[in-house]
Structures are given as structure tokens and as C-alpha cells.
A and B are shown apart, each in its own frame.
Chain A
Amino acid sequence: MPAVSYISILLVDDDKKEYLSTNRLVKRVTEPKCKLEWCSSFEKAKELIAQHSHDLYMIDYKLGEHSGMDLLRMVEPDKRPEPFILLTDVADRTIERQALKLGASDYLVKGAFDAELLSNSFNYSLGRKQAEAQRFEHLIELNQAKDEFISVASHQLRTPATGVKQYIGMLLDGMFGELTPTQEAVLLKAYDSNERQLRIVSDLLKVARVDAGKVILKEAETDMNKLLAEVASEESEIARKRGQKIKLKPASKPATAWVDKDTIRMVFENLIDNASKYSRRDTTIEVVVRVNKKSVVVKVIDQGVGIEEEDLSKLFEKFSRIHNPLSTQAGGSGLGLYWAKKVVDLHNGKIEVESSPGGGTTFLVHLPRLLYK
């Protein structure tokens, strides 16, 4: 950015006389040196503000049929680096409070300020924004440190759990002699428990990565009929052990979606695995692929225990554990659906759920057919 020797200010006021009188005062402000420009229309002001046209904005409370408050509401000064000062004809505490609540940095009454007060207000407003920016930067740093900590801690946790896996695995493989059925059963429990721990660590890492914005999608045209056939076939093995079947109903026409294949595969592994975990024996999980005008829709329908209505909204939250008749044995991390929603959102897709207790659950995943621009 080129060096600016003065502060550029935009006055949004529908009265030219106000501009002329304010400009006379602004010219006398030496600290900071300022240059005032004027805009009389609400629409034009919105456009200029959106382009970050000036370093500071002074907004009149009355703007023809609109109010300066409408403008503040629209531009959300809280989320912007430039300060906003509201101008009114008369002192009014209610308006002042409202303006500050909407993110204005300061509030001035017309005719009641001179060059010195103006200078103070500019300095205060600019300083306040700078302090906000510093605080924000600090928060970003703290957040990065947290992400880094989760990543390092999770990776560190993997090593001892990998050791446990090797040693119990050796015993189970009979490397140190034959086991009695009881010994084998106990070791299998230890092995499975350790596997669960490893899965939780993997889920934590996946979530930390998506939260830190580090998931980079490699999107390409992907045949969803084929992808779901592969996932259904892999998951059938696990379902069979639980006495369940997986039935795939592919779309009758090509179901090509614009997605990152590996990531979306994990989403469906997760949904089908959940469907299986929360269903009893002798049930079927249906995977249905449909093609709409703009999206490929995949439904994962189970005949499982279902979800209470009040729990539906918690489903996609981090660490949400919902109690149901099979939740204690299912043993999830409470992170799978949170992660799935995040990555489907990253694809500009949508994930929805329909369920009733005892009536099974359906997850619908909408994925874009074309490159989203």
C-alpha cells in the first residue's frame, strides 16, 4: 500500500451545507492531517464503504428515507478495520447507545464540536480500531497455538498407543505361545480399546486440521455411483459381523459430483459406520444415490434406534454424545459428524438429517455437480 500522509474521511450526509461546514473544521485539524470527501446518497455510500474507500467514515443519522443506523447495521463496523462516527442533530443517549452497540467508534452532535473535539474524536476512533486489530491478532495467535498444541499432543499420543498395539498384537498372533480362550478374549478387549483410542486421536487431528482451515480439497469430477459402491462394499464386511446388510441403490444416470474423492469417501464411511453402530441385528442400511439439477444427493437410511428431536440440533456439534439404547457400546468420539459437516460445507454442499426415536435415521448429503465459482 502506498504511504498515506493524511487520513481520508468520507462524510455521508444528504445536506451539502453540512459538508461545507464540517470541511471547514476538518481543514483546521492538524493532528491527524485529514482530507474530507462527501457522499450524499445512501446507496453510493454503501458501495464506497464496501470497497474500503476511506480510512474513516462519518455518517449522518438522517439520510433521506434511511437512517445512519441502517447503514451501520448493513456494513457491520465491528467486522471492519475502519472506524465509523455517527453524527446527530441533537444529543440523544438512546441513539448514542444504539450507535455504539452497532459498532460505531464515536458519536458527535452537529454544531456542538469544533476542530479540537473533531481531532480528539478522530484520534480516539483510529486508536480504538488499532487496539481492536491488535487484540484480534493476539486471538489469532492464541488460536494457532491451540491448534498446534492439539496437533502435537495428538501425534505424541499415537506413539505409545502404537506400542500397545504391537505388543498385544504379538500376543494375539501367538508369537509367545498359545492362548487360552479367556486370555484371548481379554486381550481382544484390550486391543479393541486401544484401537478406539487411536481412532479418537485420528478424529481429533482431522478436526484440528479442519478448524485451522488446513484442509485443502483436491476437487475433481467424481462418479458417486462408483465411489458409494466401493464404500458400501468395504463397510459390508463390518455390517455383516453385526448381522446387518448394506443395500446400494445407485442413480440410473451418471452421478458425477465435483468433490475431493478421499475426503468425501471418509464422510460416507463415517455415515455408514454410524448407521451400522446405531442399528440392531437383522436390519438393512440403504445407500441411495440421486441426481438433481444442481446436486448429487446421497441418502444413508438406517432402521436403527433413531434420534430424539431435541438431540437433532446437537448432532453436528463438537464432542456431542447423544444418549440412546446403543450409545454405550457404539463408543464414538463425538467428532465424526462435526467433521463431516465441516468438510461437506467446504464443498459448498449440505448435510441434513431426518429421524425419529425407534424409526431409524436418514442422512442426506447434497454435493455440487459442477465446479462452484
Chain B
Amino acid sequence: MTEKEPKILVVEDDASLNDAYKTILLSAGYDTRTAFNGKEALKLAKESQPDIIFLDLRMPVLDGIGFLRAYKPKTDHPDVKIIVFSNYDMQQEVDEAYELGAERYVLKAWASPKELIKIVKDTMANDQE
């Protein structure tokens, strides 16, 4: 079975977490880039054409919801899987992200490195079904 390795974009404003996710995903062999806010993410997404985006919601400059509004996953990028990755479990915010085209919401505090990699694998497996 030839499985295409996904290209991943991590959007996370906390430097320490940004670095951790990059290290974990790179060590698992994924082509991973990182942005620190929604604006940077829009630029990087255009350049690198990711398959999966891990998106934090609360960020400076342009937040996750603002990113989704500009990126328009539903109409402009239907093949890109967006995983909302936030520690703010505010239902309203999460609902809004889903409405704007996010595929899944994961509480950041819940995901260990192993679980992070499992999310990537599950997302790709679902995509191939």
C-alpha cells in the first residue's frame, strides 16, 4: 500500500508548544512547518499546501477563527483537514470553528506526543476511506 506522507502545518503561538509539536511530528517523519499566528499561517499555507493543519484558536495578530474565515476551508480548500487544537474548550468557539470548516476539535491538554501522531494517522486513514 502506498501511503502518501502528509504535509503538516502547525499554527501555535506558544513558542514552547510550537517547538514541541514540530519536534514530535518531524521525528515521526512528517514534513512539518509551523506558524505563530493566523496571518503567518495564511502565508505558509499558500506556499506549502499542507494536507493537515493543527490550528490553535487564541492567537495574536490573527486568531484561529480569523484564519478560518480568510482561508475558507469549505469552498477554497476542501481537501485540507483542519484540526482545531485549543486549550479553550468554549463550546461557542468550537461550534464556530466547525461551521467554518474545521474537521475535528482536540483539547491540546489531552493530546500526548503519541496521541498527536495517532491523530495524524487517523486523519489520513479517514481520508483514504
Which residues of A does B touch, CB under 8 Å? 155, 158-163, 165-167, 169-170, 173, 175, 198, 201-202, 205
Q: Which 7 A-B pairs rank lowest in CB-CB distance, beginning with the nearest?
A: A166-B20, A158-B87, A169-B113, A163-B16, A169-B112, A158-B109, A162-B109
A160, A162, A175 — most chain B CB neighbours (10 Å): A162
What sequence of 0s and 1s flags, for each residue 41-82 of chain B, a beta carbon within 8 Å of any chain A beta carbon? 000000000000000000000000000000000000000000
B residues in contact with A205, CB < 8 Å: 89
Is B20 within 8 A of A170, CB to CB? yes
A197 to chain B, nearest CB (A): 10
Docked Cα-Cα span, A158 to B14, in Å, equals 12
Pick from B23, B27, B87, B113: contact of A155, CB under 8 Å: B87
In the complex, how many residues of chain B place their beta carbon closer than 8 angstroms to a beta carbon of chain A? 16
Cα(A160)–Cα(B17), bound, Å: 8
> Within the complex, what minimum Cβ distance (angstroms) separates B86 from chain A?
9
A159 and B14 contacting across the interface, CB-CB below 8 Å: yes
- A167 to chain B: which residues have CB within 8 Å? 20
Central interface residue in B23, B24, B87, by most chain A CB within 10 Å: B87
Tell me the complex Cα distance, A224–B62, Å.
Answer: 44
Asked, given contacts A158-B87, A175-B24, whether A163 binds B17 with beta carbons under 8 Å apart, the answer is yes
Contact partners of B87 in chain A: CB under 8 A: 155, 158-159, 162
Minimum Cβ distance to chain B for residue A157 (Å): 9
- In the complex, what distance in Å separates the CA atom of A333 from the CA atom of B20? 28
Chain B residues in 8 Å Cβ range of A198: 109
A179 to chain B, nearest CB (A): 14
* Beyond A158-B109, A162-B87, 11 extra complex contacts between A and B, CB < 8 Å: A155-B88, A160-B16, A163-B14, A166-B17, A166-B113, A170-B20, A173-B113, A175-B24, A198-B109, A201-B109, A202-B109
Q: Which residue of A lies closest to B18 (CB)?
A: A163
A159 surroundings in chain B (CB, below 8 A): 14, 17, 87, 108
B20, A163: Cβ atoms under 8 Å?
yes
B36 on interface, CB distance cutoff 8 Å? no
Q: Is the CB of B109 within 8 A of A166?
A: no
Instruction: Using known A-B contacts A158-B109, A161-B109, determine if residue A166 contacts B24 with beta carbons closer than 8 Å.
Output: yes
B4 touches A (CB below 8 Å): no
B29 CB, nearest partner CB in chain A, Å: 12
| Chain B neighbourhood of A173, CB < 8 A | 113-114
**Residues of chain A with a CB closer than 8 A to B114's CB:** 169, 173
Q: Knowing A158-B108, A159-B87, A205-B89, say if A166 contacts B21 (CB, 8 Å).
A: yes
- Chain B nearest CB from A174 CB (Å) reads 10
Report the Cα distance A173→B27, complex, angstroms.
11
Q: Give every chain A residue within 8 A of B17 (Cβ-Cβ).
A: 159, 162-163, 166
Which residue of B23, B24, B27, B108 contacts A162 across the interface (Cβ within 8 Å)? B108
Q: Which residue of B lies closest to A205 (CB)?
A: B89
- Complexed CA–CA distance, A208 and B123 (Å): 33
Report the separation of the CA atoms of residues A170 and B117 in the bound assembly, to the nearest whole angstrom: 12
Q: List, in ascending order, chain A residues with CB within 8 A of B20's CB.
A: 163, 166-167, 170
